[in-house]
Structure formats: C-alpha cells, structure tokens
Homo-oligomer: A and B are copies of this chain.
Amino acid sequence: MVERGEQLDNIQDKTDNLAQAAQGFRKGANRVRKDMWWKDMKMRMCLIAGVIIIIIVIVLAGHVPSHVRAISCLKGLDVSADACVTLSQYITNTLGIHCGALSGANLALEIAQKKYSESTIAYRLPADYLKGQDVDEQVLYYLFHRPYFHVNVVQDVTGVCLAGALKNVIAIAAGFVAGVGWGDNAKAAVMRRGLLEMIQFGTEFFNGDIDPSTFLKESAGVADLITSCAGGRNVRMGAEFAKHKSTKSLKQLEAELLNGQSAQGITTAKEVYEFLEARNALDRFPLMVATYNIAFNGLDIEKLPEILGHHWEVKHFKSKL
C-alpha cells in the first residue's frame, strides 16, 4: 500500500515487487492453460478413438471369424423404450463373436501415468470353448494385469456394462446435490441410493443375468461410481445445472462448457426414464426418475430428500430394496 507523501523511489520499488508477483501469477495461469489444453486434447483423442472403434465394428460386420474373442473397453448401453442392450451384446449381435467387457475406476490420464489403479474384466466362457486352446479367465488376467494396473476377472458381463453406463446418471444426481451445497453427507446418500437402484435395474430387467456383488464389490461397480462422483463431466454438469438454478438446460451447459464433448449421463438419464416408463416401473427407481425430472421437467432439487425419504419409508416396511 502507498501513503501520500511517500518517496517516489519507495513507490517505484513497491510497484516493481507487485509487478514481479503479477508476472509469477501470469506464468502460473499460463501453465494451467497449457495443462488444460493437453487434458482437453487427450479427451478429444479418446472421443475420436471411440468413434473409430464403432466404425470398425460396422465395417467388420460379417468379416470376422466366429471363433474370435473380444473384450469391449467402451462402457455403453443402447437403451430405448423397447429394449436395453449392453455394448458387449451389441458387438456380439453385430459381429457374431463372443464378447466380454472391461470397466473400472479408470481415469485414462492416471493410467497413462502408470499410477496405481484397478479394473474389472467380465468374461463368460463361450458355448464353443476349447479348453487349453481358448481365451479363459486366467489368460485374460495375464493379458491385462500389470504391477500398477490390477484386474479382477468376473463372469458378469451384463452387470459390468450396466454399472459402467448407469453410474453416469447417478453422477449427474451427485452433481445436483454438490451444486446446491448440501455437502458430503448428502452426496454419499445419493451415491448409496444410486448403487442400490443400479442393482435393482439389473435384477429387474435382465432376468437374474447380473450378480449384485459386481456392483457392490468390484472396481467396475462401487469404485467406478466413487471416481465418477468425485470428478468428471457428469458430476460437473449436474453441479453447474444446480448452480444456475435450472435457468440453463443441461444440453446448453454441455455445449457451453465441454468444448463439443458430451456428458453421457444426460442422454442415459433420458433413455433410462423412457425405458422405465414403458415398463410402468418408475416408482421403483425414485432417484433415477427424480434425476430425469430435475434435468428435463423443472423439478426442484430441494424436493429430492422428500422423494427419496417417502419412497424409502414405504420400501422399509414392505419389501426392502
């Protein structure tokens, strides 16, 4: 600070010091900008890679021998009012080959830096499995397991695919709660309820083809949910939506803030809602339905505890979730 009457030299020295500090700040800001540019570029590359894979699948259709085995590393779900198909099943349907899935708490940047992480591989032995000459759990384990990248091999392909897709909807809801500033208790509550609804979804619509422990115990389940709700595009979009007090739509925020990328949970929330509505099952998925209604129908986020509380109470004394 400068007092009237101070010597010009003093003022000069002070402003020089401040100039130096400003220079330091500018350098820091430049570094952050560069880091963000590189991060953004990597995300774009991942997106392009995803599109290329889908094109390859379409081009390959009818040209791949049926004894080829595949592991899908894309976490997708093709949901419409009519059906809900996992990406692994889509590959099998399109290419006629047996397909598993890899999913987990795997932020790509951290894996690229060889930081410790875990993943889940889901693979079920095919009907034409030839012992000793075919891909099995142990082969997959040795193919993918690394000192810094640990894999667990399970049989529940459907569960792994479902968890990878549905967790994005829960991350949007966690973002809502974070955006209105309810803190860690509320966020954990939403994640817990979300985990239970994910299992309910799998159990109800996949005829016992899922194993609840995939969701509860594997990296592709609870751990992936934890990382997705800690950070990432879905939770960020949910939080921004809440902060803007629903004056901007999620799609608008996505366009403004994600540089052409998408937050998958927005689309999945809508698709899941339509799927549930067509099956008259909305009442059994209060969190997913509320997430859709907050995102697309102007439901007030403040209503969330009431919606979840009432439902819980009913469930508790009738059939526990």
Mark A residues whose CB is within 8 Å of B.
1-2, 8, 11-12, 14-16, 18-19, 22, 105-107, 110-111, 115-118, 138, 141, 145, 147-148, 150, 152-153, 177, 182-189, 191-192, 195-196, 216-219, 222-224, 226-227, 230-231, 304-306, 308-309, 312-313, 316-317
**What's the nearest-Cβ distance from chain B to residue A14, in Å?**
7
Can you list 15 residue pairs at the A/B interface with Cβ under 8 Å?
A: A1-B18, A1-B19, A107-B183, A110-B183, A116-B185, A150-B305, A150-B309, A184-B227, A188-B219, A192-B217, A192-B218, A192-B219, A195-B222, A226-B226, A230-B230
- Bound-state Cα–Cα, A191 to B224, Å: 11
Q: How many identical subunits does the complex contain? A: 2
Given A138-B317, A216-B216, A312-B150; A115-B223 close (CB under 8 Å): no
Q: Are A191 and B305 in contact (CB under 8 A)?
A: no
Secondary structure class of chain A's binding surface, majority of residues: helix
Whether the pair B118, A192 counts as a contact (CB closer than 8 A) is yes
Q: Are B189 and A116 in contact, with the CB atoms below 8 A?
A: yes
Give min CB distance, A277 to chain B, whole Å.
Answer: 26
Q: What is the minimal beta-carbon distance from A245 to any residue of chain B, in angstroms?
A: 18
Cα A219 to Cα B195 with chains together (Å): 12
Q: Chain B contacts of A227 at CB under 8 A? A: 184-185, 187-188
Is there contact, CB below 8 Å, between B2 and A223?
no
Bound Cα distance from A116 to B183, whole angstroms: 9
A138, A147, A223, A308 — most chain B CB neighbours (10 Å): A223
Q: How far is the CA of A224 from the CA of B313 in the complex (A)?
A: 21
Min Cβ gap A95→B in Å is 29
